[in-house]
């Protein structure tokens, strides 16, 4: 015979459900992403993209500076970060910050590790699968909302700022410099990883150059060339 004691401090997990009534306050859209606001480092941060495609949570260097955080708080990061186009992004380090998700009634705090990336972006933070899975988030781009359970078993519903989302999306299309859908593991390409390529020394600008005309076109060539 065995006896199993049920812990009294276990809170039942609520169902995270999206219904038709949740569409009543949504402005019709086509491709607007879910963009929310969170509180971290004691300040409210807007333009936070809920990006379920990415494999790491990212805070951009400009946001890091605006939060008045010190570079001394960063821990070193030895890996490489690649965008969806395969371009390498500069990682300044990583930092773990208490991040608060709040709606009109309740809130939830989570310690999220952000990779601090020096790259242009329309967003301040990318909330990706590690953070979303840790706090049991379910997001719906159709409903322009994301839901997560509080520690008390209450459903927290966070609405997307559609005006901000539209501006960020249009800005990313204009500049074509958005960095999202990042992955830590670089894909293999013809037997050589892009990590190995990134470790190679990059070309440097020659200090002394000469102008030469070749077939009617002018070129700047290094003096060290034969």
Say what the pTM is: 0.71
Q: Which of residues 137 and 220 earns the better pLDDT score?
A: 137
Q: Which of residues 79 and 6 earns the better pLDDT score?
A: 79
- Strand 125-127 and strand 138-140: the pairing is unpaired
Distance (Å, whole) CA 90 – CA 108: 31
Q: Residue 24 pLDDT more than 80?
A: yes
User: What number of helices (H) and strands (E) belong to the chain?
Assistant: 4, 14
Mean pLDDT, to the nearest integer, of 197-206?
56
Quick one: pLDDT at residue 187? 46
Q: Where are the alpha helices (DSSP H) in the chain?
A: 61-66, 129-134, 162-175, 194-199
Counting residues of the chain whose pLDDT is more than 90, the rounded percentage is: 50
Quick one: pLDDT at residue 214? 85
Report pLDDT digits (tens) over 102-114: 998 899 999 999 9
Q: Residue 7 pLDDT more than 80?
A: no
Distance (Å, whole) CA 224 – CA 226: 7
Report, in angstroms and rounded to the nearest whole number, the Rg of the chain calculated over CA atoms. Answer: 23
Quote the tokens at residue 202. Answer: 């990059």
Report pLDDT digits (tens) over 32-72: 889 999 999 999 999 999 998 888 999 999 999 999 999 99
HSE-up of residue 108 (Cα within 13 Å, Cβ side): 20
């Amino acid at each position: 015979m065995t006896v199993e004691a049920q812990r009294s401090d276990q809170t039942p997990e609520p169902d995270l459900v999206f219904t038709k009534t949740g569409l009543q306050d949504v402005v019709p859209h086509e491709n607007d992403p879910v963009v929310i606001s969170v509180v971290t480092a004691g300040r409210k941060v807007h333009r936070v993209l809920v990006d379920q495609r990415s494999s790491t949570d990212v805070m951009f260097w400009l946001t890091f500076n605006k939060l008045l955080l010190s570079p001394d708080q960063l821990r070193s990061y030895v890996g490489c970060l690649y965008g969806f186009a395969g371009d390498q992004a500069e990682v300044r380090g990583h930092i773990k910050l208490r991040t608060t998700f709040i709606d009109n009634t309740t809130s939830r705090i989570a310690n999220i590790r952000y990779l601090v990336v020096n790259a242009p972006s329309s967003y301040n933070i990318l909330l990706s699968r590690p953070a979303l899975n840790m706090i049991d988030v379910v997001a719906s781009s159709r409903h322009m909302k994301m839901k997560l359970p509080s520690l008390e078993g209450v459903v927290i519903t966070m609405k997307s700022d559609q005006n901000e989302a539209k501006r960020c999306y249009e800005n990313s299309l204009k500049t074509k410099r958005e960095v999202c859908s990042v992955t830590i593991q670089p894909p293999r390409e013809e037997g050589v990883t892009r990590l190995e390529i990134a470790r190679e020394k990059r070309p440097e600008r020659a200090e002394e150059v000469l102008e030469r005309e070749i077939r009617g076109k002018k070129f700047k060539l290094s003096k060290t060339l034969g």
